[in-house]
Chain A
Amino acid sequence: MNYRMIWYIMGQIFKVEAAFMAISLAVSLIYGENLLVAFGVTIFALITIGVLLTLKKPEKHNFYAKEGFVVVGISWFVLSLFGALPFFISEEVPSFVDAFFETASGFTTTGASVISDVEALSHGLLFWRSFTHWIGGMGVLVFVLALFPEQETQSIYLLKAESPGPKVGKIVSKLRITARILYGIYIAMTIIEFIMLVCGGMDVFDSIVNSFATAGTGGFSVRNGGIADYNSAYSEYVISAFMILFGVNFNVFYLILIGKVKDAVKSEELRVYLGIVFASVVAISAVNMINNVEGFATVGESFRYSLFQVASVISTTGFSTVDFAAWPTFSQTLLVVLMFFGACAGSTGGGTKIVRSIIMLKSGYAELKHCISPNSVISVKFEGKPVENDVIRSTNGYFVAYFSVLALSTLIVSFDGLDFTSTFTGVLACLNNIGPALSELGPTHNFGGLSVLSKLVLSFDMIAGRLELFPVLLLLSPRTYRR
């Protein structure tokens, strides 16, 4: 393995994190908060290590899939470790494990929180907390790819390891340009959302952090009462729309940008995604209205609340305007099903991704046909093209790994003695980067009451889920480090 190269790229990542943190420091200074030490020490440490690691350029540039996985896996853990320092040093989050959980939850765009009184945090830390969503949404390595001109950091394996989806490709021939286009679209959409929220009367700071949280499909709120606190239908609709948009494959936006709207609309994944959103909104509105759930009195209100919740869960954002833990069992179950699906590949959302479910269902159906007539040859097609066997194999492998991690984590977290629904959906919400779960870990509760072990396991799950398991699982295998 090319360790030199791995350290070098890690060094660049440290520098980038320091730069992002400096922005947060600036915000805290604007609000006149005393966070100079908390941020300063961390930034200094990051820059020192970053400069030391990048002092010498590696001679050998060979960089393969394994190196890509390892860099991405290690750097996400290290990012969260350093990102947690300001919370810990400032003593606003006294336990380091809590701070780590909170930061990991931020970077992985999960949005599960251990902090019960969010409004007590200083602005600088609130900004940093939501900013981690934004950084983690599109990915730090993608940012490094977009930023650094050096030939040596240009490897498709970095993009493949960090970007979600079974088939990651470039949208233009140059990796750096691809990364820039992705970030360009990302930044532009974040700014549009910010402007729309400000126009709706939300204050500037809240608009910024909520835009960050939506863009990364994170879900950290800066109010104890969440988005409902603003009590504005307009803001809720804007956020709903953007949650759905950020759950769409960014290639679709690129196609629209270059004028190929027809091709964009043809995307099978997009259609299925929007179809699921529509059907779920209709189903939840109807069931909740029939069951006379509080707030679902009129069609308008039902639409508003169910749209927001469906968008929030399927895009894996995890905002909430109502306590869905109090909904009828059917609606809750439907939300859990949506949690499994997650957003589209190539978006900022988490979950198992719509495309994987489509491929799995189609190959399952092909298998069924195969049972009936064993000699038939059936090719699985997606987006009108046959799916390569490799992709089907890796999708199968992904689901096996996914359910193994899910089962094992649930088993460990169950030591805490919560009821089954909370334990299972809690792990699910972390692994799929959603945030709030059901029952005792629902939107009106938080993860603060869990044991240290559970918090560490869930932090691991969040990072594993964000990176789609393999980069993180690879780190656990001794074979990775053998020469």
Chain B
Amino acid sequence: MNIIIIGGGKLGSMLVEYLIKEGHDIALIDKNYKLIESIVGKYDILGICGNGANVDTLKEAGVAKANILIAVTSSDEVNVLCALVGKKLGARHTVARVRAPEYSKQLLFMRNELGIGMATNPELETAIEISRILRSMHTVKMESFARGRADLVEIPMTDDSPFIGVKLWEIYTKFKLKILICAVQRGDEVYIPDGNFVLKAGDVVQITASHSDINEMFKILGYEKQRVRSAFIVGGGTIAYYLARELTDVGIKVKIVEISEKRCVELSEMLPKVDVICGDGTNEELLSEEKIDQFDACIALTGIDEENIIIALASKFRKIPYVISKVNNSSILRLLNRETLENIVSPKVISANHIVRYVRSKQSDTSGSVQNLYKFVDNKVEAVEFVVREESECTGKPLRALKLKRGILIACIVRNGKVIIPGGDDTIEKNDNVVVVSSNFYLRNLDEIIG
């Protein structure tokens, strides 16, 4: 597809990286000539230096033939203008990043009345993600599919884990657990395992199962269950605002530490239920004074990645059960060891995943469209959720009769709200939600799983 991306900042360049791998024709527009030069040197795309809301620039980028226009400059207003102009000039679908809280309530209006296909708000999406992690009550990475009915969790195998040394197909008989291990990361390698695979200590496994089976599994693995009742947020930016709003809505007590006095006043006006503390969140004494030790969760959301990491490490040291930190820099993300900090959120990655999902859903034809997309293990493996809209070659046949490509695994099927962890006799039917785990593929519709 022809895709125009406007703005080559953190999110823009990440989108280029993701989308070029899927074989799209990309034109990137940015005002910064140096930035364009460096991105064009790295990826096989067309770079155009100019203002993305300018008609001539958009025409130069071939807007009339563009399937999707994605506006992710630093300014919300420019993004909306880009999307509007692009739409008028013939772009089929448009995506605009709109992040200011002032506009967050009119995203729906933009979609319906202005014809912007997708208005994405990375900060809001990140806040929702954090809130979900906190409410899932386990200190593991978790992603949910089929509107929360099925979960995908990431679990590191410790030395004393009961799963070690057991063949995967024996897990069901031994523990009465209906779970599916869909990817195993061992060292730098990623495996899509079959039934005879045996887990080793140090493996990081991705597991799908229904919500209740996941909880059952946590019990067997000895994970403690603890409800989060209070959250301590360091850094009072936009994400913190959204998050505090989300958390107070479900009755979680929130305390925000923010360094800027002006911002503190704003926050306290907007969030009457929240304790707003004015001070430096990296100051140990202040944190002790504010009784951070008594909180169930600490979320580091300052604007500086390094500070967030330090705050998170310090909180782990204080034995706070749930620690989440925001890290946006890709280089730092790659350096971090998942054993030291298991919960890291990156607004950029979350937003990029949302947009890629949107792009794929516009690309697929009718037989099944992408509902959800989640990349894991350094983006090497992805789980894609499809909705089966009509009958196709994959439907109505037992799975063992389907000739699946190598590296493809059907992780779960959700039918009428019931989660099926599929075996060889199960079938895919119309109106099912199907989660497919794949390595090295970029699935756009369900039919691509058979080779």
Residues of chain A touching chain B, judged by Cβ–Cβ distance below 8 Å, are 64-65, 154, 156-157, 169-170, 172-176, 388, 390
Contact = CB atoms under 8 A, between A and B. Distances in A.
9 shortest interchain CB distances as A-B pairs: A173-B46, A173-B25, A175-B44, A154-B44, A388-B33, A173-B45, A173-B27, A170-B46, A173-B26
Given A172-B25, A390-B33, 5 more contacts: A156-B40, A156-B41, A156-B44, A173-B45, A176-B44
Interface string B12-49: 00000000000001110000010001001100111100
Contacts of B45: 173
Contacts of A173: 2, 25-27, 44-46
A157 B25 CA distance: 19
A174 B25 CA distance: 7
B44 A174 contact: yes
Contacts, number: 26
A298 to B, nearest CB: 48
A26 to B, nearest CB: 35
Contacts of A170: 46
A156 to B, nearest CB: 6
A67 to B, nearest CB: 11
Interface in B38-67: 40-41, 44-47
A173 B2 CA distance: 9
23 contacts: A64-B41, A154-B44, A156-B40, A156-B41, A156-B44, A157-B41, A169-B46, A169-B47, A170-B46, A172-B25, A172-B46, A173-B2, A173-B25, A173-B26, A173-B27, A173-B44, A173-B45, A173-B46, A174-B44, A176-B44, A388-B33, A390-B33, A390-B37
A170 B25 CA distance: 12
B330 to A, nearest CB: 16
Contacts of B44: 154, 156, 173-176
B211 to A, nearest CB: 40
B60 to A, nearest CB: 9
A157 B43 CA distance: 11
Interface residues of B, number: 12
A65 B33 CA distance: 17
Contacts of A157: 41
Interface in B358-404: none
Interface of B: 2, 25-27, 33, 37, 40-41, 44-47
A169 B46 CA distance: 8
B447 to A, nearest CB: 24
A53 B415 CA distance: 54
Contacts of A156: 40-41, 44
Contacts of B33: 388, 390
Contacts of A172: 25, 46
A174 B20 CA distance: 10
A401 B137 CA distance: 67
Nearest to A160: B41
Most buried by B among A172, A174, A176: A174
A389 to B, nearest CB: 9
Nearest to B48: A169
Nearest to B23: A174
Contacts of B37: 390
A428 B44 CA distance: 37
Contacts of A169: 46-47
A176 B23 CA distance: 12
A156 B25 CA distance: 15
A169 B2 CA distance: 18
Contacts of B40: 156
Contacts of A154: 44
Nearest to B37: A390
Nearest to A151: B44
Contacts of B25: 172-174
A357 B2 CA distance: 36
A321 B37 CA distance: 45
B20 to A, nearest CB: 9
Contacts of B41: 64-65, 156-157
Nearest to B50: A385
Contacts of B47: 169
A257 to B, nearest CB: 15
A176 B46 CA distance: 12
Most buried by A among B33, B37, B45, B46: B46
A65 B38 CA distance: 10
A172 B57 CA distance: 15
A347 B437 CA distance: 49
A350 B41 CA distance: 25
A174 to B, nearest CB: 6
Nearest to A62: B42
Contacts of A64: 41
B27 to A, nearest CB: 6
A258 to B, nearest CB: 10
A212 B384 CA distance: 53
A173 B33 CA distance: 17
